[in-house]
Structure 1
Amino acid sequence: MSQPPNDSPKPIPIPPYMKAISGSIGGIVEASCLQPIDVIKTRLQLDRSGSYKGIVHCGSTVVKSEGVRALWKGLTPFATHLTLKYALRMGSNAVLQSAFKDEKTGYISNQGRFLSGFGAGVLEALVIVTPFEVVKIRLQQQKGLSPELLKYKGPIHSAGVILREDGLRGLWAGASPTVMRNGTNQAAMFTAKNAFDKILWKKHEGDGRVLLPWQSMISGFLAGIAGPVCTGPFDVVKTRLMAQSRSAGDMKYTGMFHAIKTIYAEEGLLALWKGLLPRLMRIPPGQAIMWGVADQVIGFYEKTYINKAPL
């Protein structure tokens, strides 16, 4: 059981709606800062011919051939997606954790925290992440900025084209690897964030103490490292499956396991971790930004309603 110091009072739970609000605000800030890295990651993962030599080369090539604005392709669906995703993730995780809390002490075991995170990740993957990422990836894979030359003109137009050509199922292409990726990611992230808060800052949720932004950012950054390394193959497969269009006749991969097998056979083992470095450049800093904002929102609630002095 994840227990506080012996002299600590029973923690006062943070309402799920406050967790959801804190996550949505953090998501807006994160999306605005890190969209270019997400575009580069997507381009690298879709590169089957080795056109891009690395992160810097990919970024510079996009800027030279398509302009700086191309690095913010898909920002609208990305920002909306992150805002809704974090709201659902943080809120649902809080609800699920309540089912695992010890009624006497008010604390939750590491196993309960892990399962709550996994459940929140699965829920966000099915409800929000998959359809938003399908639209985002279709927009990001297009080269050029001339509207008349682009198949997808924007998020709403892209979703309409996908529905018309591929059906409703097209918006949930790559759902299986997305579920595996997000479930594992969130299970590890929530467990690690809580652990780093306790180890580094002696902070327990609901104790009324408020971490400074830089402290939250360090914990969030460290918690965001493990997920991309463990879930790299799921992320690559997800991107490849989402980029396929039935109408264009480019259904190279029939499903998650077929995609993993095909990529391994044709491109080698390391291809399953394509885009890992830009993911590590995006996800840990993204988690740092999100938690730096979210903890301040939650901290405001704790200072106001739990009436304890801030750290």
Structure 2
Amino acid sequence: MKKQDQPQGTPMKAIPPYVKALSGSLGGVMEAACLQPIDVIKTRLQLDRSGTYKGIIHCGTTIVRTEGVRALWKGLTPFATHLTLKYALRMGSNAVLQSAFKDSETGKISNRGRLLSGFGAGVLEALVIVTPFEVVKIRLQQQRGLSPELLKYKGPFHCARLIIREEGLLGLWAGAAPTVMRNGTNQAAMFTAKNAFDVLLWKKHEGDGKVLQPWQSMISGFLAGTAGPVCTGPFDVVKTRLMAQSRVGGGVKYKGMIHAIRTIYAEEGLRALWKGLLPRLMRIPPGQAIMWTVADQVIGFYEGRYIRGAHL
């Protein structure tokens, strides 16, 4: 039976969570390889309290001039690993949560259910994967220079071990609260927007067997990735500041998420809460475009082989 001849009310076939998890992990590998330099620049700008860097270009050229081109890929191993695991968990858990909100008769999910599924997936990835990996990544990225003897942290595993030894296991979860708020809000908006753009632009519904062209996935993914960074800018800045500060040798500057927001606002002004927004906008929407291009092709292959083929 062709897709257009299906009886009205027939539930659309669901994509198994493991397929979505695999598609997300493959997309994460590609995204990390392409966009790591932008993430390094974003982190340096967010940690810059003295005005050392005048902007994105100046920051990038300064890093290259003083530390070498390789410095733009600092923290790549934890970044790539974290993206791969994060997207696998995000896509898989979102699929599981969406199945709980779907109408049992039609197989459709409401926008409210899609938002809640996205938020839940974001909270889960923030606590399980994102926070500890980003703590390690940010500690590595904030180090200046490339000479091993001058660096406190010699690599991702050494960094993680040293944090645990000096600050305890919870040191790897510094900045967990703003990370949860950032990722939960981001994923609620992203999954809802991606589905909306697929339907609006390409008449693509999940489980209908239609495979988007790579350029179509790139456009939908790019547009879906734009809203989150603007809305969650303060959470991202606070997250970075909390993760970067070491608890060794006494007290810390920021006592928590609310205290950090108040302190940054009082000392640096309102705009400081959106520091690094431009590099985030340069990284996240293109990153979502890359990730969804790969993920949609994997999901599309499954739909074309096991869903559309079953309907013919």
**Counterpart contact for 2:9–2:106, Cα < 8 Å:** no
Q: Displacement of 1:247 after TM fit?
A: 0.8
Post-superposition Cα deviations, 1:64-107, rounded to whole Å, max 9, x if no partner, equal 00000000000000000000000000000000000000001000
Q: Which runs of 4+ in 1 moved over 2 A?
A: 4-10
Corresponding position of 1:86: 87
Corresponding position of 2:268: 267
**Counterpart contact for 1:221–1:287, Cα < 8 Å:** yes
Corresponding position of 1:209: 210
Q: Which runs of 5+ in 2 are unaligned?
A: none
Q: Displacement of 1:250 after TM fit?
A: 6.2
The CA RMSD measured in Å over matched residues stands at 1.5
Q: Which runs of 5+ in 1 are unaligned?
A: none
- For residues 150-299 of structure 1, what are the structure 2 equivalents within 5 Å? 150-249=151-250, 251-299=252-300
Q: Please, what TM-score do these two structures have when normalized by structure 2?
A: 0.96
**Counterpart contact for 1:42–1:141, Cα < 8 Å:** yes
Using the alignment, how far apart are the partners of 1:248 and 1:144 within structure 2?
A: 23
**Counterpart contact for 2:9–2:105, Cα < 8 Å:** no
**Counterpart contact for 2:75–2:156, Cα < 8 Å:** yes
**Is the counterpart of residue 24 in structure 1 residue 25 in structure 2?**
yes
Q: Displacement of 1:307 after TM fit?
A: 2.7
SS at match of 2:87: helix
Q: Displacement of 1:251 after TM fit?
A: 1.1
Using the alignment, how far apart are the partners of 2:57 and 2:7 within structure 1?
A: 51
Using the alignment, how far apart are the partners of 1:131 and 1:255 within structure 2?
A: 16
**Counterpart contact for 1:244–1:250, Cα < 8 Å:** no
SS at match of 1:307: helix
**Is the counterpart of residue 59 in structure 1 residue 60 in structure 2?**
yes
2:153 partner amino acid? Y
Corresponding position of 2:147: 146
- For residues 97-176 of structure 1, what are the structure 2 equivalents within 5 Å? 97-176=98-177
1:296 partner amino acid? Q
Does the C-alpha gap of structure 1 residues 6 and 228 become closer, same or farther in structure 2, counting only changes over 3 Å? farther
Deviates more, 1:8-17 or 1:52-61: 8-17
Q: Please, what TM-score do these two structures have when normalized by structure 1?
A: 0.96
**Counterpart contact for 1:85–1:129, Cα < 8 Å:** yes
Using the alignment, how far apart are the partners of 2:282 and 2:236 within structure 1?
A: 15
Q: Displacement of 1:10 after TM fit?
A: 2.3
Post-superposition Cα deviations, 1:124-143, rounded to whole Å, max 9, x if no partner, equal 00000000000000000000
1:231 partner amino acid? T
Aligned residues with identical type, % of pairs? 82
Using the alignment, how far apart are the partners of 1:250 and 1:29 within structure 2?
A: 40
SS at match of 2:154: coil
Using the alignment, how far apart are the partners of 1:47 and 1:251 within structure 2?
A: 17
Q: Displacement of 1:248 after TM fit?
A: 4.4
1:68 partner amino acid? V
Does the C-alpha gap of structure 1 residues 82 and 70 become closer, same or farther in structure 2, counting only changes over 3 Å? same
Does the C-alpha gap of structure 1 residues 52 and 248 become closer, same or farther in structure 2, counting only changes over 3 Å? farther
2:149 partner amino acid? E
1:101 partner amino acid? K
Using the alignment, how far apart are the partners of 1:248 and 1:183 within structure 2?
A: 33
1:30 partner amino acid? E
**Counterpart contact for 1:196–1:219, Cα < 8 Å:** yes
Using the alignment, how far apart are the partners of 1:189 and 1:91 within structure 2?
A: 15
Using the alignment, how far apart are the partners of 1:116 and 1:193 within structure 2?
A: 13
Does the C-alpha gap of structure 1 residues 301 and 113 become closer, same or farther in structure 2, counting only changes over 3 Å? same
Using the alignment, how far apart are the partners of 1:279 and 1:307 within structure 2?
A: 37
Using the alignment, how far apart are the partners of 2:20 and 2:226 within structure 1?
A: 22
